[in-house]
Amino acid sequence: MLHVFESDHPLVQYHLTQLRDKNTSPVEFRALIRRLSSLLAFEATRDLAVRDRSIQTPLTSMVGSELAAKIALVPILRAGLGMVDPILDLIPAAEVWHLGLYRDEATAQPVRYYNKLPQTNPVDVAMVLDPMLATGGSATAAIESLTEWGVRSIKLISVIASQEGVDAVVTRFPETQIFVGAIDPELNAVKYIVPGLGDAGDRTFNTLRYLE
């Protein structure tokens, strides 16, 4: 797939293995999400446009570079929140816009409950952040909202994906770039990624006990 990038970097695979482990604590899980977000964002930003910037070093003048595009980070609530800060550290001037989507457990379809994207003046590049790309429903709904805003370049960054979810996004929005740490082969009967890592939101925010 032309616009799908599955990382084979040793550090990504190392941290992802720890992330999958059911014995990893919420504290370490959050730290691993941050590390993986930074590593995946490094790849996702490789083609960002730059322009010349003249500066004065302690020794002489020189021409360096600055980002030329207006960039937005768009986390899908709530699990995507854990990916914002590490990427914002890399792109401090980025805008942050939130989209609220959850999966209806009966239908496995996305339900939109929060969208404050402006009506005009879209960014040049939007990065949709969601640790898990399962059915692709939430991702495609987010990309649809950004497309309606007028964003021309959209990148989806997920720590882990299912093949079904990747296929859903590619089919609906073939120009969207997808960056993932791993693509797992299947979803189970309740649409969880297998082998996966469980529920990223509950593991990030330490709410698993409420599901027991």
CATH number of the domain that residue 37 is part of: 3.40.50.2020
- Run of H or E residues at 177: strand 177-184
- Residue, of 192 and 210, whose pLDDT is higher: 192
174 within some domain: yes
Domain residues for 123?
Answer: 4-49+66-211
Q: Is residue 204 part of a domain?
A: yes
Q: Which alpha helices (DSSP H) does the chain contain, by range?
A: 10-20, 26-44, 84-90, 137-149, 163-172, 200-205
Residue numbers annotated as active site: 103, 107, 199, 202
- What digits encode the pLDDT tens for the residues 74-116? 999 889 999 999 999 999 999 999 998 877 766 767 788 888 8
Q: Is residue 54 part of a domain?
A: no
- Is 209 in a helix, a strand, or coil? helix
Residue 26 falls within a domain, yes or no? yes
Task: For the full predicted model, state whether its pTM sits above 0.85.
Answer: yes
Structural domains of the chain, count = 1
The pLDDT of residue 48 is 95
d(CA 148, CA 55): 38
Instruction: Give the closest residue to 18 by CA, choosing from 28, 10, 27.
Output: 28
Q: Please, are residues 192 and 164 in contact by the beta-carbon 8 Å criterion?
A: no
Domain contains 55: no
